[in-house]
Amino acid sequence: MKDKQMKKFIPVWFGQFVSLLGSGLSSFGLSVWIYDSTGAATPFAMSFFCSMLPTVIFAPFAGSFADRLSRKAIIIVTDSLDALLKVVMVLLLSFGSLQLWTIYAILFLSATLATFQGPAFNASIPMMVGTENVGRANGMLQLSQAAQNMIAPILAGALFPFIGLRGLLIVDFATFAVGIATIAFAAIPQERIKENEGQKKSLLGHVYGDSAEAFRFLKNEKALFSYILVFAFMNFIANICMILVGPMVLGRYESTIYGTVQTVYGIAMLLGGFISSILPDQKNKAAAMFRVLTLSGVGLIVAGWSPLWGVIAAGMFLFFLMVPYANTLLQTILQTTVDKTMLGRVGALVNALLKIVSPLACIAAGPLADNVFEPMMQENGVLGRGLLGRVFGVGAGRGSGVIFVICGLILAVICLIMCIKAKANSMAAADTD
């Protein structure tokens, strides 16, 4: 039965991989288009901001919808609407009307659709594969995400000079058809929430109560809640660096090198996803998460140390190598702890908590680089003419490099502290038992 469940899941997994690959192509094309048009880090940060804000705003609605409506229908409708947005972008490009503000608006709408799709899809996984196979299924999804991160940049970098952003968007549109088709023909069972007579409300009427219930659940799980809050702060630190990768590389190299750097850390995620799909179950998942993410902090330090793209790529490889495994552990904890009828609500709330500070990272990253560290790390800058200039180099992208090193140090220290705390919590729980 377990094997049959996994065999039915594989076509869905493959469809999502193809759709992710198309999204990766268009995302890379948009990044290059924005930098070529502006040459600054702040517009990069604004595009990230527009992509992250919907999660914070709409997560309560998304969780309730995922638990109370057909999850299959949510996935199909959101995918279809996202494909339509790609058509709109192609038309705007064709008529020469694509501008930064239109990109921001479309990114916001696309991220809103993803906010509603994510809880519906993640909550469907235990029902499709069974509780025993949740870890394997999450590992496979991390593997497909990693493969997309490896293939999309190098493929997009090679195609962009020939077909441009318009061509990449058309390819992305075509991949949506594969993702929608595999979901449409898949059986996605779903447990319905049982309502008490006399307490039935409208769907919107349930949103507040559902969010409050999900929050109460997390609040009662004190250790889990504290880990999620720490993860949220670490996301803030990491997102500052993720936003600045493009400006740091494109400030000195062509788009093909930027694509190569992204491909290198895509390989890291592929390897990390493969590792996460085959490693045995960890007894203390929280400690394992923070232990491996300590190496991610070291990776950020390495990436910021030198202006050489090979060193940047090596650091990003180390950073992303551990991410799929940590994500798999966290997702597995949630899916095996939370009742299946609450997975959508709790999953959406956790996603919102993890990303609630990400818009602040977007707001901070661009000005921090453009107005503070980049000027300071020029040849005649305050830091550039001193020790930091001799250690990290001066010129374009070096201010971002210093930001990477600072963020990496903070991330590594936090992870070490939380690993020790997770081990202590596990020992205390064992003593209680």
Neighbour-count burial of 161, counting CB atoms closer than 10 A to its CB (0-12 exposed, 13-18 middle, 19+ buried)? exposed
Query: Tokens in use for 147?
Result: 């493969």
Residue 199 within a domain: no
Q: State the CB neighbour count (10 A cutoff) for residue 7.
A: 10
Asked whether residue 375 is assigned to any structural domain, the reply reads yes
Residue 341 tokens read as: 């009828």
The verdict on residue 119 lying in a domain is: yes
Q: Which residues of 389-398 are buried (b: 16+ CB within 10 A; e: fewer)?
A: beebbbbbbb
* Residue 196 within a domain: no
- Asked if the structure places residue 274 within a domain, the reply is yes
Element (H, E) at 311: helix 309-321
Q: Residue 192: which residues within 8 A CB-CB, separation 6 or more?
A: 341
**Helices 2-38/134-184 angle, 10° precision:** 80
Sign of CA dihedral 11, 12, 17, 18: positive
Provide the residue range defining the domain that includes 44. Answer: 2-187+204-432
> Residue 113 belongs to a domain with what CATH number?
1.20.1250.20
Query: Over the chain (433 residues), what is each successive 10-residue block's mean pLDDT?
Result: 71 85 84 77 77 78 77 88 90 87 89 85 79 74 72 79 85 86 81 54 61 78 80 89 85 80 81 72 76 91 90 92 83 73 73 78 84 87 83 84 93 90 69 55
Quick check: is 192 in a domain? Answer: no
CA angle (69, 54, 153) in 5-degree steps: 105
How many domains does one find in the chain?
1
Dig out the tokens for 137 from the structure: 């299924």
Cα separation, 187 vs 68, in Å, equals 17
Using CB atoms within 10 Å of the CB of residue 226, give its burial: 0 to 12 exposed, 13 to 18 middle, 19+ buried: middle
Q: How many helices (H) and strands (E) does the chain have?
A: 16, 0
